[in-house]
Chains A and B, each alone.
Chain A
């Protein structure tokens, strides 16, 4: 068979693709902007990690195409594709100065050359190690592919763990320190930290330990899965989690939630508050998009309405930017009004689009969002809502005489709000209203033919979504103390949409996962802010192509088997049906 020959064409194709990816990462700036973030201290920065990961990946992919279970082919393919890929990058490095590429490509900068050539002088001296690293990593990729599947998975998990932990090293070491401080054992933390973390990034020993540990854990869990699968096959009864353990898990998670601000410190708490605000919005949009299937791109409008209502009602400096006077309401008095106004607008904007479906609905709601943003910015409404200067002096929430000012205090308010939204979402999903939403999402005509009132059902979805969003807006305004129209642009809607898609459309835990991944992580990696939308865009496309159900898909509810046993006891005659 012809298949036994070495597939040179694939090698060139994948090598070229790898080269293109490397050029893209370099020119877009991902390579040159993460120099200061060390994954492994003094050994590898995140910048260079991008190069290594890419060559590793393409080595792996090439081996998959060319190996034919032959180590020789795999290694040959991996090395060749790595060499081709890195050749593209070397050409870029060599041409940058003579062609003055930086005049067009801002990131074809000396900084990039420095990263790629390890700061050697002259830079050509760095090309050899660059090639060496690339070839070695693509070779490693190819060899990893040749490992047995279980071990392969474990090794990949190890690599991912090292890079993930290394990237977040600073943060994790702070968290560990806080935990030990909470337990009152400072010395142990110092010793522990020293093993794993260097000044920047992981220490070499830490990286090695994490790598080995991950491999062991992953191998162990694979082994356990096999045993469980074997047990199930032999017909053993399913093991149910005992009630005591469930309760313990609840108590521990409650404790963690309560203590989180202390574990995280003020910087991290700030981020958690932002994540929770987005989670709150996410629960709302999840109802509109995930449950009811109405793609709303103007969701930020209700966030803005909630925030502005809160601001107008509680600001003590109304005269500064607007003509209105202070009403002097407290946060708690203004909160229901803010939510109410958002709901009202949810219905007002919902009515005209009742007849609309799918993509037209998306565009119209986008139009609504933009209209509101432009109006908020304009001189036209400036006397009322402050125009570009926004509104200052918004009241902070007061609880039992304590003013919630810092993020560590506001945390409890926001998390309570998000939990409330989660609870409401959960109750409604499993109720008549939730089923009507989903039926409408699946097939509007049939839903109506089943007796569902589409007008009520749609408006309920819009109103609930707007309520959560308005709630989030009100808290957002109170948290910042001042608001500006610039905070309410389309990107907010897109962010929320992205997070529910990444988490899993219609999935409640997915909202939290999505918010942590898409709002939390970029905040942690400050250098990422520039690339945030780039990555979101790529994520949206990638999710739709490869994982449209999201990372935590909404599970089908078990309703029949759940209650079968009790049914058996009651033993209703089946003929009584209907």
Chain B
């Protein structure tokens, strides 16, 4: 990082101003939102005492417009969607770690799996197999999704990215943007432009009690599956020989090559691993949000990228934490501070929260909140 005194006075003061404004807006909004339950005529002191001493957890007046249960549900939904973001974010982080490129088309890799697996899920559901043997059926659906995503990503790497590995940095990015649209509209051509509704799975309807809290079964399954996959991936990268080779390539491609590591193969495996995670995320997305279509990859892709940057791109645990954080923030945020600021229909701006966070993180802390795992010499 360079420091220029003269520039500091102009640009940096503006940047600081932006930081302050954002923080003030969020805090002000949150406080205004949370205290909107204050009854007319009630003093601040009274309000504070009433809220801190009240034993009624569900009391509306202390938590803004929403009850404590609602806030909890927002939070749990945020965890589930955060798990999906985290899984997708892993793909960005892995590829960036190894190639220092933003695989802009990763969102489409995610879409390809989810969209393809829909047809398997739908046919299982129609034939009744899904309800007779739900675990096996979901397993097959997930496998199909992961395999599809992996094939797409490997082809993408082979055809579009490998020949450009030594090109200037913007060239692979533009290629990735092109590939992103190519994939979107390929799948639109193949499967049509309509939205497809993932079938309901009988055993996943309703709620489970987890630690005495009723939670929608799909959310539990999505979150648990995401965590299992992430732990598995972490183990794979840290403990297996291939994982070590991956980290060696991330550290220094040329040295890794001298050490006898087949760099091309490792890069393909990196893409494949990231894609498999994205494919799994695709099915979880289908379970949680029910709908899939050909442009479903764009927004989650950008958000997962945000998550990856939040956690420090190239940093695997960082991507996981970043994903969960973004998921929760996005789920709670609109109701928490946007409504507090008096924004009507705040849920419409949920994407603005994610994008704003992306922009702010990239501007102010491009190395992420958890720092970068890799040397930033090439970044």
Q: Which residues of A contact B (CB under 8 A)?
A: 24, 27-30, 103-107, 293, 295, 297, 351-356, 358-360, 362-364, 366-368, 370-371, 374-375, 377-380, 382, 455, 494, 497-498, 501, 530-531, 533-534, 536-545, 548
Contacts and interface: CB of A to CB of B under 8 A. Distances in A.
B17 to A, nearest CB: 10
B8 to A, nearest CB: 12
Interface of B: 7, 10-11, 14-15, 18, 101-102, 119, 159-160, 163-164, 167, 169-175, 177-186, 188-192, 302, 305, 343-346, 348-349, 351-352, 355-356, 358-359, 362-363, 366
A374 B352 CA distance: 7
B363 A537 contact: no
A497 B175 CA distance: 12
A455 B6 CA distance: 11
Contacts of A103: 119
A364 B359 contact: yes
B355 A374 contact: yes
Nearest to A369: B355
Contacts of A455: 7, 10-11
A16 to B, nearest CB: 14
Given A364-B358, A371-B359, A536 B348 contact: no
A104 B173 contact: no
B164 A363 contact: no
Contact of A531 (B175, B189, B366): B189
A358 B102 CA distance: 11
A540 B190 contact: no
Contact of B174 (A24, A360, A368, A501): A501
Contact of B181 (A534, A544, A548): A534
B158 to A, nearest CB: 12
A531 B356 CA distance: 32
Contact of A539 (B7, B178, B180, B345): B178
7 contacts: A106-B191, A359-B169, A366-B302, A380-B344, A534-B186, A541-B178, A545-B175
B351 A359 contact: no
B363 A359 contact: no
B163 A545 contact: yes
Nearest to B344: A379
A536 B182 CA distance: 7
Interface centre among A353, A355, A543 (most CB of B within 10 A): A355
A11 B252 CA distance: 39
Contact of B119 (A104, A355, A374, A531): A104
A367 B362 CA distance: 10
B181 A494 contact: yes
Given A29-B189, A494-B177, A356 B363 contact: yes
A380 B178 contact: no
B185 A534 contact: yes
Given A367-B355, A371-B359, A544-B175, A378 B184 contact: no
Given A374-B348, A380-B343, A455-B11, A540 B191 contact: no
Given A374-B349, A537-B181, A359 B189 contact: no
Contacts of B170: 293, 295, 358-359, 362
A122 B182 CA distance: 36
B182 A371 contact: no
A545 B356 contact: no
A538 B188 CA distance: 15
Contact of A533 (B164, B184, B363): B184
A358 B189 contact: no
The 3 A-B residue pairs with the shortest CB-CB distance, nearest first, are A540-B178, A537-B182, A28-B189
B203 to A, nearest CB: 26
A219 B308 CA distance: 57
Contact of B179 (A24, A29, A494, A541): A541
B338 to A, nearest CB: 8
A23 to B, nearest CB: 10
A534 B184 CA distance: 8
Contacts of A27: 189-190
Contacts of A295: 170, 173-174
A396 B108 CA distance: 41
Contacts of B167: 544, 548
A538 B182 contact: yes
A374 B330 CA distance: 15
B366 A540 contact: no
B362 A534 contact: no
Contacts of A545: 160, 163-164, 175
Given A358-B173, A374-B352, 15 more contacts: A27-B190, A293-B170, A295-B174, A359-B169, A359-B170, A363-B102, A379-B344, A380-B343, A380-B345, A382-B344, A497-B174, A498-B178, A530-B189, A538-B178, A545-B164
Contact of A367 (B102, B177, B185, B358): B358
B164 A537 contact: no
Contact of B175 (A28, A353, A534, A540): A540
A540 B355 contact: no
Nearest to B96: A359
Contacts of B343: 380
A380 B348 contact: yes
